[in-house]
Structure 1
Amino acid sequence: MQIFPTNLDRLDQPVQLSDDSGTTWLLRKKRIDLRVAHRLIKDSAATIVLGECGGTRPRLVPDSERSTLWDKIKIGYKGPGGDWATGRYLAHEFRTDTDRRMLFIEDHC
């Protein structure tokens, strides 16, 4: 999966992400609400990516890790609907040209 030079908030639009299968994803919305992130995690058709190291090192999240990831995000979200002061996760939404959805979660540890 493509590596970013910095976190998504600092990149100029348009931001594209190429995954290992050759699919190109376009960033649609930065800092989505926690409720939207929850819906996407529960949506089995949505792709989930965890951007470790502040979002610069993305990796695909397997279905078996979705619920564990949600447990971490819901108490540590620093975007809308979370706690900016103590949170460490931010979520962004990407889409393909065929409208497939991806939840990209930055981990700012």
Structure 2
Amino acid sequence: MSESRVGDNDVMTGTFLVQSIPTLVLFDSGASNSFVSSELVKKLGLTDCVKVKLSVKVASGEVKSCNRLFKNVKIAINGDEFPSNLIQFDLDGVDVILRMDWLVQHKS
């Protein structure tokens, strides 16, 4: 596991095991949901999803639609696995974004 802070925002990154694959994860206090990149969805072979309708406003102001939610994706931190519900989104430079309150929810 490696960790680093990004800028002065409430954002932290680290490499963690997602479904046993080392993955760059970003914890973001400003994120209203948790997301998984389309690339990682393919890499993990995730197919069992729930259809959702979610509009996500990105930093540029553009609104993008998301429609796939993957439930109980396992993320390992310090040897403990935590089930996570992740919405598929085209992410750049990171494979998973977790809401900062995800840490509180899982008491990590």
TM-score, L = length of structure 1: 0.29
When Rg is computed on C-alpha atoms for both structures, the one with the higher figure is 2
Q: Which has the higher helix share?
A: 1
Q: Which has the higher strand share?
A: 2
TM-score, L = length of structure 2: 0.29
